Chains A and B, each alone.
Chain A
Amino acid sequence: MYDSSLLDVRNLEISVAGAEPPIRIVQDVSFSLEKGKVLGLIGESGAGKSTIGMSTLGYGRGKLHISGGQVLLNGRDITQGGRSELNALRGKEVSYVAQSAAASFNPAHRLIDQVVEATLEHGLMTAQQAHHRAIELFAALGLPSPETIGSRYPHQVSGGQLQRVMTAMALCSEPDLIVFDEPTTALDVTTQIGVLAAIKNAIKQTNVAALYVTHDLAVVAQIADDIMVLRHGKMVEQGSVEQIIYAPTQEYTKALLSVRTTQHSEAPAGQGPVLEVRGVTVGYGEADILKDVTLSVDPGHTLAIVGESGSGKSTLARVVTGLLSPRLGDVAFENAALPLKQSDRSRDQLRDIQMIYQMADVAMNPRQTVEAIIGRPLSFYFGLRGQERSARVYELLEAIELPIEFANRYPAELSGGQKQRVCIARALAADPKVIICDEVTSALDPLVAEDILLLLEKLQKERDVAYLFITHDLATVKAIADSIAVMHQGNLVRYGPKSQVLSPPFDEYTATLLSSVPEMRLGWLDEIIAARSV
């Protein structure tokens, strides 16, 4: 029936081995894929999209296993094979590109040896041929000095380059199908664009079929021919890219599409700053990681600090909190200079500036209840005990829109969004005037992140607290900022009210940054690449 299909997945069911009652991660998913086509698998975390991708290699993480349905690859049902049959097809007929290339390369071996390993293991080429092909692929994927980059170790090349090398590794054995599992999610936007273009190019040139797993609809719209939307392990909607992007039929798909449409209207300037960073330089002279940064935030306002990894934005947060002392300059709170070192600050000075972190998971003690976590700053700063403290914890839970029964739960019993809410409550417990939010929504799914941003905005209105909002995500910036500071390699390249920063004329870096954010329309990537190569 589907004779032309390379991959044919029918009624796939994946569950946790040995679980009673059975836990099904993926249910009743069917699709087929032809040679040279790209299917995008879209969904939030827990939707089962990576799990489906890996099932085409007959692989399940941990205790996951295919418990029903068929996965036909080149006409063979791979769910029927044992380990040796699977080994015969992994890396030969299907290969895999992981999310974090940095973690997915073995640190102990040279890149070239890892790139050609599968090809040699399956006896597809001689060592010389394989090396030759790897170098060709390095060149095709736009890697610098393709002849010699293979002799480097993973830690010696950048994240964007590693992701290209990983793509070359997947292509080296000339497979029929490649599974891309969020290949650009860990990259900065300006890096992502080059890697996306390289991947798209490579797919076109080699006529390989691909499953492209991502949570980012705008990204998949540039690469895929068809899209399947998944939620809770079930298919929501499947169709061509045009249909899904421009004419979605399901509510959930519409919600995913509309996530980035919230806008925060810029508040007028206040009556003087609550926090000022004055001429801060951090480093040891030659290579300063922050260079003469001056900025301020008004009470009840949000200053978004935008930049890519290595731009110095987290360093700035460490200076403000006193964890890192600047070489020059200082930090002022309500017009009075703060001691540079955290240990020299008074308890009230500490209380006034609180922090919320990116990874809510690791920012909480897993052995403490929510009440203990939120109650700690209450005891520490205000000396609250017993009933009084509990009452305040319940108030805070209400403020973050969690039921008060959550006071007795442990972090492991909370979802990602709920954990981040508890972290917000903990910061609020100190009744601060400034909260530093360090990539607080980066680890969350778009819909959950949206709710967190709305909560932060509501709390700001109620309490007049100022946010120093550190992020690499420009959509988040548009959604929450009053003023914006753009950082690049330790320099403050652009700074001012949001309306001003986001309107032309742009400096070169801000222009690149803004134009690199994927747009939810077809052909965006091609246009931008064409525009840049002129």
Chain B
Amino acid sequence: MIAQRVALSLLILFAVSVVIFVGTEILPGDVAQNILGQTATPEALANLREKMGLNEPALSRYLSWLGGLLQGDLGVALTNGRDIAESLISRFGNTLFLAAVAAIMSVPLAIFLGLVAVRYRDRWPDKVISAATLTSISLPEFFIGYLLMLFFAVKFPAFPSVASVYDGMGFLARLHAVALPAFALTLVVLAHMMRMTRAAVLNVMESPFIETAELKGLSSFKVIYRHALPNAIAPIVNVVMLNMAYLIVGVVVIEVIFVYPGLGQYLVDHVAKRDVPVVQAAGLIFAVIFIGLNLIADITALLSNPRLRHPK
């Protein structure tokens, strides 16, 4: 069962690589034109195209790209001639760090709030939690970002408004630097996960075995986390993983606001310059993350089912 999922994921990844390649292929515009500018002579353009291998047929360019990828070679950026893998790696590290901090804050908090909402269902704690998380998801991320900046960087300057990080920075200093963007991201993803936890656990709370647990004299919280939560893992993990993917892939706006040197900014910069190899490489990395996280969600859901873990 698990092997099947893994194989399927690899197949999807391969399909995505084709889509990315074809997609960038049909994009309008021309790198050579872009680099040399509108005033470039036709001869100069032709020379540059030849040098960059743009005249090869698409299929052979795809195959050599794919071959490179499999060996960890993402190619060279057209605009500055630097190795893409090298520039990506530090950016990617930054993105992962920010995502990890946001995840460590938001996932346990979301599940805890979800359980509290179940415990006090339809009473004021449930309503307050629902209202607060809904509000935070309804506000655009840039607005949350600026709001946090206003309060925690300007009025009460506890954290920097510009999340600048550099190589060799200490862990705590780094944490301090990303505090505000991580907090903003937490507010953005909290509501989804909290509401799914609440809904999934409430669904299980209808089961007869919950009544059994209550009639054993367990406290409400023990009933919820010991008997309901383990049976609600699968849907919760799915939503958590989708939000994890978002934290890595979808944080461009937050990165821009806090001037954070992550993958999103790097991608946007190179899209603007029509640097196809960079766009392709970044797109593929995003695809790997999305597919990988969903694979983890699938496998966790399978393993959380005792019928599959312990067959008859």
Contact = CB atoms under 8 A, between A and B. Distances in A.
Q: Do A and B come from one complex?
A: yes
A105 B214 contact: no
A107 B214 contact: no
Contact of B214 (A59, A88, A108, A122): A59
A121 B217 contact: yes
A514 interface: no
A235 B209 CA distance: 30
Contact of B215 (A57, A88, A105, A153): A57
A105 B216 contact: no
Interface stretch (A96-104, A134-142, A387-395, A479-487): A96-104
Interface residues of A, number: 32
Interface in B224-262: 227, 230-231
B162 to A, nearest CB: 47
Interface residues of B, number: 22
A104 B208 contact: yes
Given A106-B231, A155-B306, A155-B312, A90 B207 contact: no
Interface string A85-100: 0111111100110101
A105 B212 contact: yes
A117 interface: yes
Interface in B176-234: 207-209, 211-220, 222, 227, 230-231
A35 interface: no
A408 interface: no
B312 A117 contact: no
B51 interface: no
B306 A59 contact: no
Given A87-B218, A90-B217, A95-B216, A156 B310 contact: yes
A132 interface: no
B307 interface: yes
A7 to B, nearest CB: 16
A104 B217 contact: no
Contacts of B227: 106, 108-109
Contacts of A107: 209, 231, 306-307
A118 interface: yes
Contact of A105 (B209, B222, B310): B209
Given A59-B215, A118-B217, A109 B310 contact: no
A483 to B, nearest CB: 36
Nearest to B233: A108
A363 to B, nearest CB: 22
A90 B216 CA distance: 5
Most chain A C-beta atoms within 10 Å of own C-beta, residue among B209, B215, B222, B310 = B215
Contacts of B312: 155-156
5 contacts: A90-B216, A104-B209, A107-B209, A108-B230, A114-B212
